[in-house]
Amino acid sequence: MSAELWLGQKPVCRLEPIHCFGLTAGKIRAYTDQVLQAFAKQYSVSLYQYYKDRFEISSSYCPVRPCPLHPES
């Protein structure tokens, strides 16, 4: 799981990926809420209304290796 903040066509912040394999849905939700709150505070933007449309959930996007979901890597 990682996060990026773009303002228009400009990337302004990127959090390095962390492995979320085994995290509960509640812990993932808490992490995403903390990230959104930090982005909103640091960059004076309101993100809550937009993030659900931008949230991608797929193990194929996982850049973290080694990963039990990608044993061939």
22-49: per-residue pLDDT in tens?
Answer: 778 888 888 888 888 888 888 887 765 5
The yes-or-no verdict on residue 53 having pLDDT over 60 is no
15 near 2, Cβ under 8 Å?
A: yes
**Residue 33 has what pLDDT?**
83
35 near 3, Cβ under 8 Å?
A: yes
Q: What's the whole-number average pLDDT of the chain?
A: 77
Unique residue bearing structure tokens 């509960």: 24
**Residue 39 has what pLDDT?**
85
